[in-house]
Structure formats: C-alpha cells, structure tokens
Amino acid sequence: MEDTPMDDGTVALETPADNVFVPPSIHHAATLSGETYTHFSTVPPSLLPEPNSTTPSDPSSNQPSPTGPPCVLGVDEAGRGPVLGPMVYGVFYLPTELSDPLLKQKHHFDDSKVLTPTVRSQLMQSLCTPTTDLFDSCGWAVSCLSARDIGANMLRPATSAAYNLNAQAFDATVELIKGVFARGVNVAEIYVDTVGPPITYQAKLARVFPTTKITVAKKADSLYPCVSAASVCAKVTRDAALEVLYEARAAGDAARGGEGEDEQESWGSGYPSDARCVSWLRRNMHPVFGWGPECRFSWGTAKDMLETKGGVKVEWPVEEDDENSRLTDYFADSSKEKDADELGSWFGTPAGLEAF
C-alpha cells in the first residue's frame, strides 16, 4: 500500500513539532516493542451518572439504569498512509451543548491537518492538564495500531483470512466506542470521518450500535468539533510515538558506535512522499531484517526497497505433509531401523534377550 502524494506544505504539517508534548496515551514499553494498545483517559466526574438519575437502559426492559448528560462522540484517525510509525484512531466526547462553544468558539479546534504542529501540541497539553475547562468537561481515547502489527496482518499467508487496513480500522473504532460506553458515558450521537463510502460505513456501525444516532461524513473533521478534537488526539499521539521510536533508534545507533543523525537527516513525517523518510529507509535498511518495529513491511515502499536495494532474498523450504509423523521422528538416530519400537527409542534401547 502507498499513501497519497503530498506537497511540501502538507509534509511540513504532518511532521512532528520540536519538543512535541508527550501525552499519557504514549505507552513507552508497548511503543518500543511494536505492540498495539488502547488508552482511555479518565472520565470527568461531570459526565458520569448521578446516583439518583435513572432512565431505562433498554427500551424492551423495565429496569432503569443510571445515566449521565447526553454526549456527542467524534472519531478520526492519523497516520493511515505512512510507511513509518503507528496508525492511531482517536475518539473524543463531551456534553452535547458544549461542543460548539467550548471546542470551536473558545479553543478553535479544527482538522489536525489544518492546525500547525505547535498548535496541536498545545491543545493536547491543555486537554491533559487538570483544572483546565477541557480536562474537566471532556474525555478521549486512542487506539495505537503499531506498524509491526499492521504489516503482519496485511501480509498474512494466502491460506489465512484477509485482514486489510479498512478491517483493522473498523475494529479499532468499534473497540474505542464500546470502551467509552462501558465506562458509563451516555453517548447520544456519534460522528465519524469516513473510511470509504459514508453510507456503507454508517450502516456497518449502525449494526453494532443500533440505538445511537450515527453520522458518517467526508471531511467530518472540519464539520464537527468533536471529530476535530479526536483528530488532534490521534495526531499528537502519533507524533509523540514517532519521536519516541526515533529517539530509541538513534540512542541504539549511538550505543553501537554509529554516527548520530542531525535534524536534517531524521525520518521526517514517516510518509513515502517525504524525501527524508525515503532517505532514512535507504540508509538504515538491514539486508536481512530490514527495519525495526517502526516500519510497515506491507507498504510498497518497504517491499520494493528490500527487493531492489540490496536486501537478501531468503528462500524458505517447502515442508512436506507430516500429518502422520511421530514425535520421535524429530529425535531418533537416522541410522536406526525405521521399525524400531517408538517408546523404546524414546527412553532408550529396548532390553531384549540379547542383553542377558
């Protein structure tokens, strides 16, 4: 897979800011080991059910359950196209009546691709700082799909069920929304930036959340403030993850006695359209193992480079059908007769009459 070509201005906006804010959604151990993980912020107390506030939890049930104020929830992603770094899905929720006045009018949230890296970082820091109005009124969560897992899922053998990027994205979205519901938030409306045809994607989500109003639209990150905020959460988390991965890689190179890379030689935004990214991939490609957990090996950029730029081709032997093989076949001395007693061969040579 490849990303959509980007001009220099877009590449600059996609490149992490210097000293980017590292939010609590960065799980260092999982990021460095290439693991996919999910992070949920603490739900503001103002969004949780009040003890004496009840409403039927299911139209078909007479049993009431606690409910908090109705909330809108936005969904967006960052890093769908890069060859380096995770793809991050984010959700953002807050009371319905606060969406426009708090997010759009006061804090000027917008599509993360429109905001500068510095502005995105500042908004995320405010969201994670106690006592701010964003911290007290809003909640968010992200799912970090690691480059390693994205590539492994897309490169599954032909005999396995296909798990393409769209399917991975949908599952991440559903997991995040379910997680918000499970934490007691009264999600009344869901807004999603589309992946594919809006009508089809909306129908798929409606089958999972049949009692919630769902709107899937193109450019939702510019139309709905809650989606804009979700895009900021996703983008800043991805930017910080890139920095953590890069710093670990640079520290490892320095420890091995390699030359340190200056800012101009970093991997930039991680997109194949970014010359810095392609240059970094060429300089740091291991001929057998390629790159570390920061790289999506299923991307055409990585595959072509391994095949044409000096990668060692490994031919794996085709295994014969060994359905009827015995466990001892893997340990027995090949010089012994094939019809030797199996258990005797395993525990030692059988003691027969010839032993006396």
pLDDT (tens digit per residue) in 253-262: 777 666 555 5
Q: Are strands 71-78 and 187-193 parallel, antiparallel or unpaired?
A: parallel
Give 325's pLDDT tier (boundaries 50, 70, 90). low
pLDDT at 169: 95
In 3D space, the residue among 124, 25, 139, 145 whose CA is nearest the CA of residue 79 turns out to be 145
Instruction: Count Cα atoms within 13 angstroms, Cβ side, for 284.
Output: 24
The answer, yes or no, to whether residue 19 has pLDDT greater than 80, is no
Task: Give the span between the Cα atoms of 148 and 295, in whole angstroms.
Answer: 7
Coarse DSSP helix, strand, coil percentages of the chain, rounded to the nearest 5 percent: 40, 15, 45
| Interior angle at CA 279, CA 256 and CA 145, nearest 5 | 80
In the three-class reduction of DSSP (H, G, I as helix; E, B as strand; rest coil), residue 140 is classed as strand
pLDDT: is 87 or 114 the higher one? 87
Task: Give the span between the Cα atoms of 97 and 100, in whole angstroms.
Answer: 7
Helix (H) or strand (E) holding 92: strand 87-95
For the record, the structure tokens of 255 come out as 């420890």
Q: Are strands 37-40 and 54-56 parallel, antiparallel or unpaired?
A: unpaired
DSSP state of 105: I
Contact of 270 with 299, CB cutoff 8 Å: no
- DSSP H stretches of helix in the chain: 8-14, 28-33, 117-127, 133-137, 147-154, 165-182, 198-208, 220-223, 225-255, 275-283, 300-308, 342-347
Contact of 136 with 29, CB cutoff 8 Å: no
DSSP state of 85: S
Per-residue model confidence as pLDDT tens digits over 208-243: 999 999 999 999 999 999 999 999 999 999 999 999
Instruction: Note the Cα 203 to chain centre separation in Å.
Output: 23
Place of tokens 């993980």: 37
For residue 212, the tally of other CB atoms under 10 A from its CB is 15
pLDDT at 8: 57
Give 155's pLDDT tier (boundaries 50, 70, 90). confident
Give 2's pLDDT tier (boundaries 50, 70, 90). very low
88 DSSP β-pair partners: 78, 144
217 DSSP β-pair partners: 193
- Which structural domains are found in the chain, ordered by start? 17-243 (3.30.420.10)
Per-residue model confidence as pLDDT tens digits over 182-203: 999 999 999 999 877 899 999 9
pTM of the full structure: 0.79
